[in-house]
Structure 1
Amino acid sequence: MNTGIARVFRSYADSWIALLGLFVLCVFALGAIAAPWVAPQQPYDLSQLNLLDSRQPPDTPWTDRPGRTYLLGTDEQGRDMFSAIVYGLRISLLVGLSSTAIALAIGGVLGLIAGYKGGWAETLIMRAADIQLSFPAILIALVLLAVLGQGTGKIVAALVAVQWAYYARTTRSAAIVESRKEYMEAARLQGLSHIRILLRHLLPNCLPPLIVVAALQVAAAISLEATLSFLGLGLPITEPSLGLLIANGFQHMLSGKYWMSFFPGVALLMLIVSINLVADQLRDVLNPRLQKQ
């Protein structure tokens, strides 16, 4: 275990672009966790807002403006954009990680059953996954949110419904390959229970491809949530994500108030790119055939 972890760290140390992605992701994650201490303002506490500060452009070192300093400017309600972005990162990461974890658990279990048992169970699970994957992810999410409404829990449920099939198919493919190996035959001959074989022997050997898919799907989930929030079907205004901040500032772009949408957009882009860089390097580590020579 320690050798595997050491190999992962060495791999990131050998790739400057993967190391940069990991650094940016860690900075964003720590900032999101420490949002109440990092952000100079609680952007959705009405008692801390002042409409006289609305639509203030970003401050620069040579800006001579009395009162508070707003590094990234303010929105139409006087919210500090830096604080809003820090809190938005927290919501975006929460939605991406929680939906991925739940979808991984559901899809992983179904994929293990399909790959290990075969027969009618495999047919039923895989046909359901094929039907789900035949529709665009955003279409399924739009339909579900139109029925469920807005809210963090509801958008997580919609993203789980979109993602589970990826994990089911990945786990099923890995489980079929592993089930034919000698250690699985030995476990069956020892008379071990199906549950013990699945959890003790089959699941650990199916984890590497699942970890890579999960890392990539976190970025996909965050991107999809941002798209839905931009369209007005994701999170409510009281639960700001980066996508919602972009949507709120977009209407002011033509009037020259670029910072309301630009800075949240840059933060979202950097977050998604950093996750993909980390996931791409993780894929190289966990799959020896893809390792760079």
Structure 2
Amino acid sequence: MAKIDRNSIKDAQRIFEKLIPESSSRLKVVEFLSNAINYADILNSQKWNLNLDINGQFIRFNVGHEYCIEIKKNEILIICDRTTLKPIMRDLKIPLIFRGHIKKQKIHSKNIDEVPDCLAKTKNSIGCLLPTKGIEKYIDYFITSNKDFIKEAINTCQLPQMREAHSKGVIEYLTKNYSGEVSSPIYELTNLPTIDEFIEDEKLKIKRARKLSKSKRLEKLKKSITKPKRKIVSQFVFQRNPYVVAEVLERANGICEKCGKRAPFLKDIDGSPFLEVHHIIPLAEGGNDTIENAIALCPNCHRHAHYGKKTY
């Protein structure tokens, strides 16, 4: 077979149909993979990629440094979190083989307790090897534990060569065959640094500055420019539901729903109490944009919620 063009939707379609011949199973895998991609993109749009093998042997979804879902001829490997998967699998009869690794050696068993972690960098990771034929009957059982794995894997480092192997063609194919929109990683949309990268770089510089002696810092301050440079960065934002914000603010009626104190000031624009609407389960962690998942906070409690989670 000639080498694959990773940016070609036609090549992506050809390989999907080769690896999963049954149309109903293929469409269900498309749905599962698309949902996993969108979830990883919400967590961190710069730390995932979709690799279409240039020889057409596999399609692999990577999160951070880890592979997450791998589709081969008539089979799929889904990496899950063992702790949330085990109780789900207890009473189910599924044609499933668990996979783990001891260094480079693959360990397979039908018993989840006999298999070590699949990936060294992600604790409690377990590989689930399944035939794709008929997978539409049971693949949904793996959604939660796969997302729990993604949440851990997103914290590992993604290598530049993984980004270079990203396939636009597969994303186009998924978008065409999935009922919703499928995300693209932010590095495919812009070569600008992300706001997260900018903030992390700033934190590192501040950390280094605090390690200097006071005299050293004062010496550097004398040589520093007083007007800060401007830098353009890229950022994904959530389009929040304005009706949720309005309802939560009306419910609070000017009182912080955490500390019970009145809003610290009134806004110049309309004289309304200044409170900020915070999502209890963050949108970036898959939380819903609903009244039930939102709370009105004063600025102090809002900062506490983000930067002092252990004591909030």
- Normalising to structure 1: TM-score of the pair? 0.27
* Structure of larger gyration radius: 2
If asked which structure has higher relative contact order (CA below 8 Å, sep 6+), I would say 1
- Return the structure number with greater strand share: 2
- Return the structure number with greater helix share: 1
- Normalising to structure 2: TM-score of the pair? 0.26
